[in-house]
């Protein structure tokens, strides 16, 4: 049993040496399975448990090879984070430099693509492996402010001996994941790090706020792109009869005729002249500058017959829907992955209150559940029913889990998922 829980305010008020000694004691107790008088913070404890399951050596500083400069540049050019670097720099670099920190921006694999700060602190960062092309994947280097937020999908501050690997004890990190609002993909993480004595409990809030500003800037870019597509598509749609819509490459509608505007259409990675879409049925598709012209076929009878909820990759849960007309796949948000996991387990269905209990351990949170299920049903209307929420009876459902049950949806704090990680249902 743990007693007093740790918090960042308490740690920041301590002498650096005192905080390190306290945290080392907490970590040593966790490694040996002993009871600790002080509880680690929840995100840290979850990460430590993952490291113990993976067999990460807490006394060995493992490093992967650095990416070649050509590969770093290729990833930079392909990364949506490149579009918001000015926002990140404006919001973080000057403050980080004043606090003797550096700013690190990494891709979804944990590879460092950019880093900025004073040269004196950058040199200290070199010693800890904060160099361009370095791999800060949690499974390789242990609990840290780059890799851990990528797994948990939440902002995380890692201070001193909260790092699982002991060689990082003299460092403090605060990192937040960045999601692209255009398609919901995790596109990387922003981290502010520095020597131990520079720790401040507000750093994590600052990093989180700036990453939200970066996501808002990506949203503004997206709106501008939709406006350009709308300018091209609106005259075209005005001359058409029947149902039609123009969508951008991520499936967001820019212009519609003959129908109510839908939400985002989950487009497959490759499009032919005809495609089955969950909310519209069989459609004909033609390219437009910056998007697609989609025309639902009026007498589409094709219906999906199979659904695969694939949770085998911890960071990339997918749902695949298939039938006679072909197949379609969509990467799931963390919450939608949890909900489909529960519905795949309970083919007879779950009420909103039951889902709220499964996900939040609070049956009164039905408003949140109904809102999330409404969003899911926009994409999966032909395979998801409601009252109760369930997969339709005429569709085959397969649930694919990770090789190790302990790796099931590592970001999730839902009681139903935690029980499954322990081998219970």
| Model confidence pLDDT, tens digit, residues 323-359 | 776 677 888 888 999 999 999 999 999 999 999 999 9
pLDDT of residue 97: 81
Average pLDDT over the chain, rounded to whole?
88
Residue 195 pLDDT greater than 60, yes or no: yes
Band the pLDDT of 26: cuts 50, 70, 90. confident
Average pLDDT over residues 156-181: 93
Average pLDDT over residues 247-268: 89
pLDDT of residue 394: 86
The Cα 106–Cα 187 span in angstroms is: 9
Map residue 400 onto helix, strand or coil: strand
Name which residue leads in pLDDT, 9 or 364: 364
pLDDT of residue 300: 55
Map residue 183 onto helix, strand or coil: coil
The Cα 265–Cα 279 span in angstroms is: 8
pLDDT of residue 424: 67
pLDDT of residue 254: 96
Range in 27-31, 242-246, 397-401 with the lowest mean pLDDT? 27-31
Average pLDDT over residues 208-220: 96
Band the pLDDT of 425: cuts 50, 70, 90. low
CB 363 within 8 A of CB 357: yes
pLDDT of residue 53: 86
pLDDT of residue 413: 86
Band the pLDDT of 288: cuts 50, 70, 90. very high
143 Cβ neighbours under 8 A, 6+ residues apart? 44, 47, 48, 51, 158, 162, 163, 164, 165
Residue 101 pLDDT greater than 80, yes or no: yes
- Cα within 13 Å of Cα(83), Cβ side: 17
Band the pLDDT of 200: cuts 50, 70, 90. confident
CB 337 within 8 A of CB 391: no
**pLDDT tens, 126-160?**
888 889 999 999 999 999 999 999 999 999 999 99
- Say how many residues make up the chain: 425
Q: What angle do CA 375, 213, 44 make, to 5 degrees?
A: 80
Burial of 399 (0-12, 13-18, 19+ CB in 10 A): middle
Q: Which of 164, 163, 212 is nearest to 190 (CA)?
A: 212
**pLDDT tens, 68-90?**
999 999 999 999 999 999 999 99
Q: Which of 169, 201, 203, 173 is nearest to 17 (CA)?
A: 169
Map residue 354 onto helix, strand or coil: helix
Q: Which residues pair with 135 in a beta bridge?
A: 111
Of these ranges, 35-44, 202-211, 313-322, the one predicted with the greatest mean pLDDT is: 202-211
pLDDT of residue 119: 85
Q: Which of 405, 248, 382 is nearest to 319 (CA)?
A: 382
pLDDT of residue 325: 66
pLDDT of residue 75: 97
pLDDT of residue 1: 44
Name which residue leads in pLDDT, 254 or 25: 254
Tokens at 359, concatenated: 């996900």
**pLDDT tens, 345-396?**
999 999 999 999 999 999 999 999 999 998 888 778 778 988 899 999 889 9
Residue 319 pLDDT greater than 60, yes or no: yes
The Cα 11–Cα 314 span in angstroms is: 31
Long-range contacts of 414-421 (CB under 8 A, 24+ apart): 414/338, 414/358, 414/359, 414/360, 415/357, 415/358, 415/359, 415/361, 416/338, 416/341, 416/342, 416/345, 416/358, 416/359, 417/338, 417/341
Q: Which of 87, 124, 125 is nearest to 104 (CA)?
A: 125
pLDDT of residue 299: 63
pLDDT above 70: percentage of residues in the chain: 97
pTM: predicted TM-score of the whole model, two decimal places: 0.78
Tokens at 55, concatenated: 């067999």
Average pLDDT over residues 182-189: 92
């Amino acid at each position: 049993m743990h007693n007093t829980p740790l918090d960042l305010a308490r740690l920041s008020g301590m002498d650096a040496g005192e905080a390190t000694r306290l945290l080392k004691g907490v970590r040593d107790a966790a490694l040996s399975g002993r009871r600790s008088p002080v509880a680690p913070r929840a995100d840290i404890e979850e990460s430590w448990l993952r490291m113990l399951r993976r067999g990460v050596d807490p006394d060995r500083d493992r490093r992967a090879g650095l990416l070649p400069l050509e590969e770093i540049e290729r990833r930079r050019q392909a990364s949506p984070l490149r579009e918001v670097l000015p926002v990140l720099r404006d919001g973080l670099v000057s403050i980080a430099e004043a606090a003797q920190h550096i700013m690190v921006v990494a891709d979804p694999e944990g590879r460092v693509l950019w880093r900025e700060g004073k040269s004196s602190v950058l040199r200290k960062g070199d010693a800890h492996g904060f160099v361009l092309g370095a791999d800060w994947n949690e499974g390789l280097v242990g609990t840290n402010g780059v890799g851990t937020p990528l797994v948990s999908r939440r902002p995380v501050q890692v201070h001193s001996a909260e790092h699982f690997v002991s060689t990082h004890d003299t460092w403090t990190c605060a990192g937040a994941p960045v999601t692209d609002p255009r398609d919901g993909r995790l596109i990387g993480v922003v981290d502010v790090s520095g020597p131990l004595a520079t720790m401040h409990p507000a750093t994590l809030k600052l990093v989180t706020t700036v990453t939200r500003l970066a996501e808002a800037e990506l949203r503004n870019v997206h709106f501008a792109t939709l406006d350009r597509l709308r300018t091209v598509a609106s005259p075209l749609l005005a001359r058409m009869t029947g149902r039609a819509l123009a969508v951008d490459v991520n499936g967001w509608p820019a212009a519609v005729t003959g129908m109510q505007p839908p939400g985002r259409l989950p487009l497959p990675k490759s499009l032919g002249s005809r495609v089955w879409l969950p909310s519209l049925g069989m459609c004909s598709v033609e390219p437009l500058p910056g998007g697609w012209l989609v025309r639902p076929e009026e007498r589409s009878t094709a219906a999906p017959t199979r659904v695969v909820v694939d949770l085998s990759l911890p960071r990339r849960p997918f749902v695949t829907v298939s039938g006679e007309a072909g197949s379609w796949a969509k990467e799931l948000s963390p919450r939608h992955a949890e909900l489909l996991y529960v519905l795949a387990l309970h083919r007879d269905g779950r009420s909103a209150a039951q889902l709220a209990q499964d996900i939040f351990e609070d049956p009164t949170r039905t408003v949140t559940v109904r809102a999330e299920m409404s969003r899911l049903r926009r994409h999966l209307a032909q395979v998801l029913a409601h009252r109760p929420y369930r997969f339709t009876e005429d569709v085959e459902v397969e649930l694919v889990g990770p090789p190790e049950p302990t790796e099931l949806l590592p970001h999730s704090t839902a009681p139903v998922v935690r029980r499954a990680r322990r081998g219970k249902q």
